[in-house]
Structure 1
C-alpha cells in the first residue's frame, strides 16, 4: 500500500498498531472470557444461557455508547472522550474481578462496553481523519489483521487462564490491557482533527445529525447490508461456547484452540481482500462475498436440518462462512464512511451502533434458542445473510453514481 507523502513508513506502522489495538479491545473483551462460561455459571449459581446474557448486555452497551461518543468526538476532538471512555472501561473491568452474582455481572459488562466503545469509535474516526478515502478499505483490512489476533489469542489464553487461575483473572488482565492501550493512544496518536465547536450536544441537534447521515443512500445501504451480514459473526461468537462445549463436549482449552483456528479464516480473508482490491472495486467484492456466503449458509442449513453435522463438519462450514465476512466487512465499512469527512465521528458511531445493535439482537436470540441443537444458530446465520444480500441489491439502485466516491 502507498503511504501518504507526509507520513513515514514507521509512523504509518505505529498508527496501524495503535488504531488496531483500540479496535481490538472490544473483541478481546468479548472473546477472552468465553472459555470460562461453564465456570462462571457454576460460581454464580446460574446457567450458561444466563451467562450468555452478559454478551448481550455488552453488545447493547457498546451499541448505545457509540451514539454517545460520536458527537463527543466531533465536538471535543478524539483524545478527551477517548480518555474518559477508557477510564470507565478500566474501572468496570476491575469491578468484574470481584463480581459475585449474575445480575451485577450483567450490569458491569454493560458499563464496560460503554467505556470500550470510545476506543472503537475513535479508532474508526481517526482512520477517516488520517488516510485518504481511496485507502480506507485497505487500512481497514490491515486493522483486521491486528484485530484478528484477538479472536486467535483471546480465547486460547482465556482457556488456560480460566483453568489455571479462574475466570476472575481474565478481567484483571483486561483491566491491565485497558491501561496500556490508553497510555499508547494518549502518547502515540496525533491530534490531527480540529474540534468542531459548532456541533451541538443537545439531544435534538444530535438526533437530527444522525438522521441526516442515515438519509444518505450510500450510508444506509452499506451500513445495514454490512451490519446484518456481520451479525453472523456475533451469532457464532455467542453460540460457540454452547455448540462446542455443551453439544460437542470439548473442554475449555480445546475450545480456545478451535476458536483460534476459526479466526484464521477471518484474518486470511481480510488480507486477501487487500490483494483483490488491486483488480476489483469494493462494490464488486461485497456482492461476490455475500453471494458466496448465501450459498454456504443454505448448504449449512440443509446439512443441519438433515442432522449431517458433526464437530469437524461444523468447523469446516463456519470456517468458510467467516472467510466471506473477512472479505465483505472492510469494504462495507469503507463505502459506508466514504461520503463523510466533517462528521466522520458521528457517521462511524452510527455505523457501529447499527452493527453492534444487530449483534446484540443476534446474541440475545442465541441465548433464547440455542440450547441442545446447532440448527437455531445455522438458521440465524442463513436468514441474516440472505436479508443482507437483498438490502444490498435494493439499496444500490438508490445510490447515485455521481455522489459515490471511487474506492
Structure 2
C-alpha cells in the first residue's frame, strides 16, 4: 500500500472514542481541529486593516465595506443551519471537505472581484464554507469526549479561537506591506488548500452510521422545533448571540475608529486589535480555573454584569472624549474579557441540554451568534464610523444580553441543568 493510500485509509476509518486515544492521538486531534476552527476568525478578521483601503480602491463608502463583514457573518449563520443537521445525517467529513472547498473558491474569486457588490456576495459564500469547519469541530469533540477529557480538549480549542483573532489583523497588516487588499484573500485561499488537505488525511470520521440521524428534512424540522420549544435553551442562545454582537460591533468599527479617528497606521491597528483579543483569550483560559470553584451560571451572570457596566462606561468615554484613545482601549479590554467569560458558559449551558442532537444544536447556536453579529456590524456603519457609534452598539449588545438572561432564561432555571454536564461543556 502506498503512503498516500495508507493515509486515506486511516482518515476514513472510524475514530476511536476519546477515552481510548493516546496522548499523541489527542494532541494530533487538537492540532487538526484547532487549524480548522482558525479559518473562521481568520476569514472575519484578517482583512480588517484593509477596510479603509477597500473603500478607497472600489470607490465606495465605509458603510458599504462594513456590509461585506455582515455578508460573511450571514453566510456563517446560514451555513451552520444547513451543515449542522447535514453532519448529523451523513457524517462529519463530507460536509467539512465540501464546505472548505467552497471557501477556497470564494477566496480566489475575491482576488479578481471588480466591485464592492461582488466582494459582498463572495464574502457570503466564504462564510458558508467557513461554517462547516466550526460546526464540525464542535460536533467532533461532542462525538468523542465526555467528562474531564471533553473539558480539557474544549479549553484548548478555545485557546485557538482566541489566538486566531489576535494573529489575523497582524497577519493582514503584514501582507498589506507588500500587497494590496486582494493579497489577503489570496492568502486565505492558500490557507484553505492547506486545511482541506489536513482534513482529508488527518481527520477520521467520528460519527458512525449507527448514530446518524435519519428522516431527512422532516427530521431536521422536528429537531429544530424541539430546540426552539426549550425556553431556557433559546434564551441562552440569545444571550450568546447578543454577547457576540457586542464583540462584532468592535470588530466592524475598530479599524475606522483606530485608523481614521485616532490616526493609527495599519500595523499599529493590528497591535491595538491584538491587545483586545488578549483580554478575550486570557478570560477564556481563566474560565477553566474558575469552574473549579464556581458554577458556570454564576460566572455567566457576573461576566455579563461586568461587561454591561464596562460597555456603558465605554459609551460615556466615547461621547465625552475623556481619556482619549487610552480610555477607549482600556474599557474595550474589560468588555472583551467579560465576553471571554460569558461566551464559553452560555453555549455550554445550552448545549448540555441537547446532547442527542449535538450537530443541530451547535448549528442553531452558531447561526444565532453569527446572525445577530451580522446585524450588529452594519448598525455601526449606519450610526457612523466614530467611537460613539461603535461604543453604542457594544454597550447595547451587553445590556440586551443581560436583560435576556434575567427576563427570559431566569438564572433560577439554570439549576435544572445537570451540573456535571455543564461543567464539562463550559471547559
Alignment TM class, shorter chain as reference: over 0.9
Residues 296, 317 of structure 1: 8 Å contact kept: yes
1:243 aligns to 2:287 (yes or no): no
Separation in structure 2 between the aligned mates of residue 403 and residue 250 of structure 1, nearest angstrom: 47
Q: Which residue of 1 aligns with 2:374?
A: 360
Say if 2:286 is the partner of 1:272: yes
- In structure 1, what is the equivalent of residue 8 of structure 2? none
CA 1:218/1:404 → structure 2, altered by over 3 Å: closer, same or farther? farther
For residue 113 of structure 2, what is the aligned residue in structure 1?
Answer: 99
Contact 1:218–1:335 (Cα < 8 Å) also in 2: no
**Aligned 8 A contact 1:339 1:405 in 2:** no
- What are structure 2's unaligned runs of at least 5 residues? 1-16
Q: Residue in 2 aligned with 1:286?
A: 300
- Note closer, same or farther for the CA distance 1:161–1:400 as it changes in structure 2 (3 Å cut): closer
Provide closer, same or farther for how the CA distance between residues 269 and 403 of structure 1 changes in structure 2, counting only shifts above 3 A.
closer
- 1:382 matched to 2:395: yes
With normalisation by structure 1, the TM-score equals: 0.94
Deviations 1:330-364 (A, max 9, x none): 11122121122231101000000000000000001
The 1:5/1:77 distance shift into structure 2, 3 A limit, reads: closer
Q: Given the alignment of the two structures, is residue 22 of structure 1 paired with residue 36 of structure 2, yes or no?
A: yes
Normalised TM-score (structure 2): 0.90
Equivalence for 1:253:
267
Q: Distance in 1 between matches of 2:18 and 2:120?
A: 44
Cα shift at 1:147: 1.8
**Contact 1:96 / 1:105 at 8 angstroms: preserved in 2?**
yes
CA distance in 2, matches of 1:404, 1:390: 24
RMSD: 1.9
CA distance in 2, matches of 1:127, 1:339: 16
- SS of 2:332's equivalent in the other structure is helix
Say whether residues 1:308 and 2:322 are aligned partners.
yes
Kindly report structure 1 stretches of 4+ aligned residues shifted beyond 6 Å: none
Pairing partner for 1:113 from 119, 127, 132: 127
Q: Are residues 1:46 and 2:66 paired?
A: no
8 A Cα contact 2:45 2:169, kept in partner? yes
Question: Match of 2:405?
Answer: 392
Residue 13 of structure 1: how far off its partner (Å): 2.0
CA distance in 1, matches of 2:414, 2:311: 31
SS in 2 for 1:163: coil
Q: Does structure 1 conserve the Cα–Cα contact (< 8 Å) formed by 2:303 and 2:339?
A: yes
The answer on whether the counterparts of 2:250 and 2:390 sit within 8 Å (CA) in structure 1 is: yes
Mapped partners of 2:417, 2:148: distance in 1: 15
Q: Which residue is 1:74 aligned to?
A: 88
In the alignment, is the contact (CA less than 8 A) between 1:243 and 1:374 conserved in 2?
yes
Partner secondary structure for residue 399 of structure 1: helix
Q: Report the alpha carbon displacement of residue 7 of structure 1 after superposing the two structures with TM.
A: 2.2
Q: Which of the numbers 75, 83, 87 marks the counterpart of 2:97? A: 83
Equivalent positions of 1:167-246 (< 5 A) are: 167-195=181-209, 198-202=213-217, 204-246=218-260
Q: How many correspondences in the alignment?
A: 403
Change (3 A) 1:198 1:301: closer
Q: Distance in 1 between matches of 2:46 and 2:195?
A: 17
1:237 deviates by 0.2
Structure 1 SS opposite 2:235 = helix
Change (3 A) 1:315 1:197: closer
Deviation at 1:321, TM superposition (A): 0.8
How far apart are the structure 2 equivalents of 1:339 and 1:248?
Answer: 46
Aligned in 2, Cα 1:14/1:149: closer, same or farther, shift over 3 Å? same
